[in-house]
Amino acid sequence: MDNNTTLYLIDGSSYLYRAYHAIRHLSGPGGFPTNAIFGFTQMLLKVLKDRQPSYVAVVFDISRKTFRTEIYPEYKANRAAMPDDLRQQVEPIKELVRAFRIPVLELDGFEADDIIGTICRDCGERGINTVVVTGDKDLMQVVSDHVTLLDTMKDKISGAAEVIERFGVGPDKVIDILGLAGDSSDNIPGVPGIGEKTAIKLVQEFGSMDALLARSSEVKGKTGENIRAFADQARLSRQLATIDCRVPIAYDLGDFVAEPPDNAVLAELFKRFGFTSLMKELTSRSTLSSEEYRTILSEAEFAALLQELAKVEEFAIDLETTSLDPRMAEIVGISLSWRSHEAYYIPVGHHYLGVPTQLNLAIVLDRLRPFLTDPDKRKIGQNIKYDYQVLRTAGVEMQGVWCDTMLAAYLVNPGRTSQGLDALSVEYLDHKMISYEEVAGKGKDQKRFDEIEVEKAARYSCEDSDATFMLHRLLLPKVAAAGMEGLLFELEMPLVTILAEMELLGVKLDLPFLAELSAGLGKQLVTLESRIHELAGGPFNVNSPKQLGEILFEKLQLPTGKKTKLKTGWSTNVDELERLAEAGHEIASLLLQQRGVAKLKSTYTDALPQLADSDGRVHTSYNQAVTSTGRLSSSDPNLQNIPIRTEEGKKIRQAFIAREGCKILSADYSQIELRVLAHLSGDPVFCDAFGNDEDIHTRTAAEVFDLMPGLVTGEMRRQAKTINFGVIYGQSAFSLAAQLGVARKVAEDFIATYKARHAGAMAFLDSCVEQAREHGYVTTMLGRRLPIPDINSHNFQVRSFAERNAINYPIQGSAADIIKKAMINIDRRLKLEGAESRLLMQVHDELVFEVPEGELLHLEQLVEHEMAHAVECRVPLKVDISYGSNWAEAH
């Protein structure tokens, strides 16, 4: 079809529900449900981008009462009312559609299908083609030479041939099938005992439903009896299923002409709903002027730049390089900006035929060095840690690292999908950045940055530093208004260079040991898989969920497992295997072991050596702007997910070693989250226990089981530990009972006793939920705001999850802030005292150091003191410290 003569009619009501059920648990910054809005918007964008229609409209149902309910009151009577959280999203969806400048069509007393059918008929008579965007099979009856259906979720187009494939008859006979078979979802009765397959067979045999009813005596048995007895019901059902293609709707095709969206309105709506990931798709205008972007190619131009740079107190910096790995990256160009809409690009490493003469990198760095290393000249960057590391590798230790716009934006809204420069520019500057692909190309034809023409590179890089400079001016007042200036400038920013140095240093691996361990895990896998095959009665691919499901639930006939979400096969996830293992099925236990061993082998023993540098050191990346609570995360590789309780996990830690003459020292906060709760709540029982250095889990066990502490067994202490964390974080009696292996009533008694003893802690946790309900966020000890957007959701499950987060976040977030503060204080002491010890890793509540043997005693005392006194607390912060030749020994 030629899109110039094609109208796209989008079945809004169909996609409304599909979007709602496809995306769960999504809400905007204020807790307003947005899952249907987001899914609907994605569908709309897909149609607009993929199809680029010249004519388009969206059609909705407007009421449940229609002409069909007048002739048959039970029509759709069995349908549940629209969920409250979906009902709230209907008008915002229509608001979004209108912001796309797409007409919204609806007509009281008629369904969306009737409006679609009428317009399709009208357009067909005028020779205009129509594509109906829907997933509703009922609309197959309107398919014709001029009408096709498009299901965007399945990327499927349906014309007459597809209708015949689906129903066995042409579009004109679809209503006959629906009349005979009925439709349970719409409460259309049909003929009892006749399903879709039988209806298709009968209509194919007799040619139509009318012919079938006229010759019903030819149909034998119960089917024939029902057809004769329910002939009028069949006719009524067909009438209900028939789309009315002559509804009195007034429209003009000219109203459906596609127009550019209203970006200003869309930007406001997307901000309201928190759709930062979609904003870059919509805003196409450029609001940053490039007239004052300058490329520095001569000594005179560079000298003039340095003169200007000497006058300013702060500037944004952005490096263009050959690699995303800062240790491998070579500097191609340097961009600087210190006034809005002004920026300078200094090319130093472009290589292509006809490239202009560039300044020498060594000379440029040498003359920039006084400014870059001046701690009083404030540096601004977007993910400035990378620029720091590249310069550090090039021999320049940048000081005065003052503001990272990524971290400022993260503090303002840690739940934002992306903290990247592109998303932030759209949100705050209403500007669409030049993409890397626009200057470098895509796929196999993509150029390295040093191959890009200087003119293109200059515009791209200047825009980056200009946008970064402008963003910092917009974001810092927001940080201050939220009371988080201290958090940014005294915690997050000082941490940037500490993490940068940790990443550059890396941690040494025992590569021969890892190779040996990998081989051992490989043998273990062979043994496990051999036994699994033996129990299964033959070989199969244990890594194939489909084959595994068939073995467990069809061949071995184990207790029925649930189907996957797509209903395409048996679920073989961890929950299902644990269910079977607990029921005593050995094959399930072995499969769980096999999966654990395979993951350790692929993720660590095989992967870590591949990531090590020539010195055998592996370099992770610490992410400050990812988690909801402020905790650091680790990636490439993730060193925070190595199992600690399994023997295999301990062996992997054994591969992390110190360089010659050094030891690995581990310093781990003991029960930091419970101590934070004690501090925040002032709970007298907790405060007394920690103040007297009692074992909190033993004390809890003594209280719950009503025993003297000396009579508490190891199993009782384990159960008390589960209770301590479970009750605090809102675990239900049902879940706690399952975890402890006790009756639900016993778990309920545990929880009741615990809450009575810790009334102070419970009151504080309740106050966290109330704070979240009132303000939409909770706060940590150091003032970090952690949004709880779903706290007022109408969906019970979503709201309950938000309430647990309101309890969880202040505690976990405070613990995260405390260890960050400790890292900063330790780093300052190490530098002040000229120590050679270095911080290697941060793993949740643990800091790992590489320490020369001569500094061990001093460092142990230094670390213990700084961690214990990182913040002022009403209970002591206890630190467990140990050391050894490798991480496992030190832990």
Strands 156-158 and 147-151, bridge-based pairing: antiparallel
| Predicted confidence (pLDDT) at residue 482 exceeds the cutoff of 90 | yes
To which H or E segment does residue 11 belong? Answer: strand 6-11
pLDDT of residue 9: 95
pLDDT of residue 304: 97
pLDDT tens per residue, range 349-368:
999 999 999 999 999 999 99
Q: What is the mean pLDDT of residues 212-228?
A: 90
566: confidence class by pLDDT, cuts 50, 70, 90: very low
pLDDT tens per residue, range 116-132:
999 999 999 988 999 99
Phi then psi for residue 58, to 5 deg, are -115, 135
Percent of the chain's residues with pLDDT above 70: 97
How far apart CA 131 and CA 6 sit, in angstroms, is 7
Residues of the chain with CATH 3.40.50.1010: 3-256
283: confidence class by pLDDT, cuts 50, 70, 90: low
Higher pLDDT, 124 or 80: 124
Q: What is the mean pLDDT of residues 237-248?
A: 91
To which H or E segment does residue 148 belong? Answer: strand 147-151
Q: Rounded to the nearest 10 degrees, what angle do helices 35-51 and 12-22 cross at? A: 120
Q: Considering Cα of 253, then 256, then 259, then 262, what sign does the dihedral take?
A: positive
pLDDT of residue 796: 77
pLDDT of residue 30: 65
Residues of the chain with CATH 3.30.420.10: 285-482
pLDDT of residue 505: 97
DSSP output for 157-210: EE-HHHHHHHHSS-GGGHHHHHHHH-BGGGTB---TT--HHHHHHHHHHHSSHH
Closest by alpha carbon to 512, among 603, 605, 624, 585?
605
Residues of the chain with CATH 1.10.150.20: 674-809
Q: What does the H/E/C string look like for 533-563?
A: HHHHCCCCCCCCHHHHHHHHHHHCCCCCCCE
Task: Write out the two tokens for 665.
Answer: 């020292």
pLDDT of residue 562: 62
Higher pLDDT, 407 or 429: 407
DSSP output for 384-413: HHHHHHHHHHTT-----EEEEHHHHHHHH-
| Predicted confidence (pLDDT) at residue 1 exceeds the cutoff of 50 | no
The topology under which CATH files domain 285-482 is Nucleotidyltransferase; domain 5 (3.30.420)
4: confidence class by pLDDT, cuts 50, 70, 90: low
pLDDT tens per residue, range 585-615:
999 999 999 998 999 999 999 999 999 999 9
| Predicted confidence (pLDDT) at residue 279 exceeds the cutoff of 80 | no
pTM: 0.79
CATH 1.10.10.10 at 507-614, yes or no? no
| Predicted confidence (pLDDT) at residue 3 exceeds the cutoff of 50 | no
Closest by alpha carbon to 687, among 678, 696, 695, 698?
678
Higher pLDDT, 596 or 869: 869
pLDDT tens per residue, range 441-481:
988 889 999 999 999 999 999 999 999 999 999 999 999 99
| Predicted confidence (pLDDT) at residue 369 exceeds the cutoff of 90 | yes
Which of the listed CATH numbers 3.20.20.140, 3.40.50.2300, 3.40.50.1000, 3.40.50.1010 matches domain 3-256? 3.40.50.1010
Q: What does the H/E/C string look like for 318-380?
A: EEEECCCCCCCCCEEEEEEEEECCEEEEEECCCCCCCCCCCCCHHHHHHHHHHHHCCCCCEEE
Lowest mean pLDDT among 94-98, 139-143, 675-679, 735-739: 735-739
| Predicted confidence (pLDDT) at residue 2 exceeds the cutoff of 70 | no
Residues of the chain with CATH 1.20.1060.10: 507-614
Q: What is the mean pLDDT of residues 760-784?
A: 94
Q: What is the mean pLDDT of residues 19-33?
A: 79
pLDDT of residue 564: 54
Task: Write out the two tokens for 406.
Answer: 């990524």
pLDDT of residue 145: 92
How far apart CA 745 and CA 750 sit, in angstroms, is 9
Q: What is the mean pLDDT of residues 862-878?
A: 96
| Predicted confidence (pLDDT) at residue 282 exceeds the cutoff of 70 | no
How far apart CA 890 and CA 882 sit, in angstroms, is 5
pLDDT of residue 565: 43
Q: What is the mean pLDDT of residues 473-499?
A: 97
Domain 674-809: give its CATH superfamily: 5' to 3' exonuclease, C-terminal subdomain (1.10.150.20)
Higher pLDDT, 725 or 164: 164
What mean pLDDT, rounded, does the chain reach? 90
